[in-house]
Structure 1
Amino acid sequence: MTGSLSAPWWVEISDNGRSGVVVYHEGINTISCYWEFCGGDTVASIFIGDISEWNTCYPWAVGRRMDVLMRIAAEVVRQKAPTCSALIEDQLGFISIK
């Protein structure tokens, strides 16, 4: 199935101590990302994987990676860290919450 930016979507965040999982839902499709608390200026990092891993694991989202990552980043900030901002490190494969 092909995803669509007009399909209903939501983000769930779970924790297990100092880490957890962020799950992006879009219709029946999901993307699961590991996150962990950090130190210094970075509150948490969400590991999204590199582009080739993304294209293999989430073929329904190929070509829409940045749009989906922006949704994930905005929702994590909104739900868990409203005084923070998100930095998407696309080439490195993670989102930093600062």
Structure 2
Amino acid sequence: MEIRETGRCGAIAYHEPAGSLSFYWELGGSDSVALIWGEAADHWHSCHPWAADRRREILKRVAEEVVRQKAPNCRADIQEPQGLIHIRELD
């Protein structure tokens, strides 16, 4: 997985042998370190059918890897219906 930065935002490239996904992220404010957007479930079904049934698993992998690489003192909250990953400072 690659995390690219362009100022206060960027992209995350997730790769598997079956295909690739792209996520957009931007820095947050207050207790929000960053927000990461995947697409809605219907988009995954139409554009990434290889990943649609594993959406929850992939969102979790992306969240865990972002925390590991960039925010080790944070936690990830996943809002699966929206495909949103919220990286927050630990309490």
TM-score, structure 2 as length reference: 0.92
1:45-83 C-alpha deviation (Å, 9 max, x unpaired): 000121101111211112100011110000000000000
Structure 2 unaligned regions, length at least 5: none
The aligned residue for residue 17 of structure 2 is 27
Tell me which protein shows more helix as a share of its residues.
2
The aligned residue for residue 83 of structure 2 is 93
Structure 2: how far apart are the matches of 1:28 and 1:63? Answer: 13
Structure 2: how far apart are the matches of 1:95 and 1:12? Answer: 16
Structure 1: how far apart are the matches of 2:72 and 2:66? Answer: 8
- One-letter amino acid of the counterpart of residue 82, structure 1: P
Matches within 5 A, 1:30-49: 30-49=20-39
Computed over aligned residues only, the root mean square deviation of the Cα atoms, in angstroms, reads 0.9
Structure 2: how far apart are the matches of 1:93 and 1:60? Answer: 16
TM-score, structure 1 as length reference: 0.86
Residue identity (%): 47
Structure 1 unaligned regions, length at least 5: 1-10
Matches within 5 A, 1:79-90: 79-90=69-80
Report the secondary structure of 2:39's partner residue.
Answer: coil
Report the secondary structure of 2:61's partner residue.
Answer: helix
Contact 2:41 2:52 in 1 (8 A): no
